[in-house]
Amino acid sequence: MVAISKFKQKQRATMELSENPFIVAFKAPANETEEERIRRVRAFQDAQRVSRQIDESLQEAKRILDRRKRATRILLLGQAESGKSAVLKNFQLAFTPQQFQKERDVWKTIIQLNLISSVRTLLNILNDVDPNGQSLMTPPHTPGSHSNSPLNSKLRRIHLVLSPLLSMETDLKNILFSAGSSPREIRVTAGTTWKSKLGFRDSATSQQNSQLTNAQNIVKTNLVKLLEASKNDIDSLWKDEDTQRALQEREINLRDSPGFFLDDVERITSPSYQPTDSDIVRARVRTDGVEEHHLVLETARLKGNDFYITDVSGMRSARHSWIPFFDDAQAILFLAPLMFNQMLEEDPHVNRLEDSLLLWKEICSNVLLANCNIIIFFNKMDILRRTLESGVEVRKYVPSYGDAPNEVASVTKYFKDRFKGYHRKLSPKPRTFIAHETSAIDIHSTTALVITVHEGIIRDNLEKSDMI
């Protein structure tokens, strides 16, 4: 009986092989020559190798998919310059400190370029014509100029001395970054190897990129030397009373700008400069497109766990690209800076805070996000505090605020209540309103906050899975 069963199994296996198109395609034909047999065997072996590679690729893709399903998936949303990148770097600092350390030299160059961009901004402001038709850097004998002003001569000299530095900044940006980079900012395309061009190495970096970076090291070295030589002129330009007066007259506060380092000239222009964690979090690079960051946790308690943070461009023209990422997100971190007195850079007619509210309403009401945690960070609280302390009144920009106290606590509560009201009214199903006040460049408080948020997301997902 057993012998009959084994015979039937062998017969079935033989039939399956005979019907297998892969086997049939390489079956030996009648009257096959030795040369034809060798070619057929080689083709069969090649086909087997390709088949194994396909199987391995499918298995790897399945492993990645399964791992992703078990991972924490976070979507960072908010308008441009809301602080998403700073929050992302706080996540990296909290959970992947070794990887964060490896990228430190990359951010050194970025910070140096941020500093030069601020210098360029200062010089452009001083070169602008004021309401009286005058400019602090207008050449002598020009109608309406300060032709006899020693200040005028001093600023022209500084501008002349700093010209090589500005020229090198332009050249370095053209080499390293996308064509969209402007004198005011550094712009990179999501998913590109811009970090490898600045010296970062990982397993995915090609030899070609390594050689490219080595060639660019000369430019980076020259940048360091030129910055050191320009230190005193940069410092003099920034601290000059007339420079500060020009900024005040135009109501420009550079300290509130992303990538501001003019208060750190002495330290950053030093040949031995190494960025601090705070420097890296404050550094500014604008990313065009959608970029996913895969973090493998290095901290002891959660070591080896994965989470994915998707950072999307906050530019108004790019917001249509957000929707495809909604379905995969377990939690959304929404950045809303309480900057009631500023307008959008891309549309000077739109108030930044009102734009955040419109975005928030769209996110809360989206049915794709009905089961998703939405956590709001009221960011840049340090700027809000400075703005109110300088005497700027909220009611001037937000008439509905009325005569309520022009104080941080009252202003924060007012806007928080507005966001909370839309959250309750527009959510497709009831969910908890989770809000935190933060300044993303304050790494101590924000790092503690992202740890709390991450643990809360994990706990919520376990509850939804009935695992706790």
Average pLDDT, the chain: 79
CB 282 within 8 A of CB 275: no
Q: Where are the alpha helices (DSSP H) in 372-465?
A: 381-389, 394-397, 408-426, 443-464
287 domain residue, yes or no: no
H, E, C per residue of 24-51: HHCCCCCCCCHHHHHHHHHHHHHHHHHH
Looking at the fold, whether 329 and 235 belong to one and the same domain comes out as no
222 domain residue, yes or no: yes
Number of domains into which the chain is organized: 3
Looking at the fold, whether 456 and 366 belong to one and the same domain comes out as yes
Span 209-225, mean pLDDT? 67
> Judging by DSSP bridges, how do beta strands 306-312 and 331-335 pair with one another?
unpaired
290 domain residue, yes or no: no
CB 230 within 8 A of CB 165: yes
Span 73-87, mean pLDDT? 87
Looking at the fold, whether 315 and 407 belong to one and the same domain comes out as yes
Looking at the fold, whether 118 and 196 belong to one and the same domain comes out as yes
The residue among 308, 305, 349 whose CA lies nearest residue 325 is 308
Cα separations (Å) of 397 from 252, 377, 402, 417, 437? 17, 22, 10, 18, 21
Q: Is 381 annotated as a binding residue?
A: yes
How high is the pLDDT of residue 69?
A: 64
159 domain residue, yes or no: yes
Looking at the fold, whether 18 and 44 belong to one and the same domain comes out as yes
Could you tell me the pTM of the whole model? 0.76
Where is the domain boundary, 259, 282, 305? 282
Q: CA–CA separation, 189 vs 192, rounded Å? A: 6
DSSP string, 420-434: HHHHHHH-SS----E
Q: CA–CA separation, 441 vs 277, rounded Å? A: 10
Residue 10 three-state SS: helix
Q: Is 225 annotated as a binding residue?
A: no
Looking at the fold, whether 106 and 84 belong to one and the same domain comes out as no
Looking at the fold, whether 358 and 424 belong to one and the same domain comes out as yes
Q: Is 380 annotated as a binding residue?
A: yes
Residue 204 in this model has a pLDDT that exceeds 80: no
Q: Is 347 annotated as a binding residue?
A: no
Q: Is 190 annotated as a binding residue?
A: no
Q: CA–CA separation, 191 vs 195, rounded Å? A: 10
pLDDT digits (tens, 9 = 90+) for 268-297: 999 999 999 999 999 998 877 788 888 888
30 domain residue, yes or no: yes
225 domain residue, yes or no: yes
Q: Which of 24-28, 244-248, 308-312, 332-336 has the lowest mean pLDDT?
A: 24-28
CB 135 within 8 A of CB 127: yes
Looking at the fold, whether 139 and 20 belong to one and the same domain comes out as no
Domain assignment of residue 229, given as a range: 102-282
Looking at the fold, whether 311 and 260 belong to one and the same domain comes out as no
Higher pLDDT, 324 or 48: 48
Q: Is 315 annotated as a binding residue?
A: no
Angle of helix 104-127 relative to helix 241-249, nearest 10 degrees, comes to: 80
Looking at the fold, whether 304 and 428 belong to one and the same domain comes out as yes
331 domain residue, yes or no: yes
Looking at the fold, whether 112 and 92 belong to one and the same domain comes out as no
Span 408-418, mean pLDDT? 95
Residue 415 three-state SS: helix
Where is the domain boundary, 234, 253, 282? 282
Q: Is 379 annotated as a binding residue?
A: yes
CB 312 within 8 A of CB 290: yes
Looking at the fold, whether 313 and 401 belong to one and the same domain comes out as yes
CB 162 within 8 A of CB 121: no
From the CB of residue 263, how many other CB atoms can be counted at a distance below 10 Å?
Answer: 13
Span 375-382, mean pLDDT? 92
Q: Is 287 annotated as a binding residue?
A: yes
The residue among 457, 465, 468 whose CA lies nearest residue 432 is 457
pLDDT digits (tens, 9 = 90+) for 118-165: 999 998 888 875 555 555 555 544 444 444 455 567 778 888 889 888
Within the chain, how many helices (H) and strands (E) appear?
A: 17, 8
123 domain residue, yes or no: yes
CATH number (domain holding residue 418): 3.40.50.300
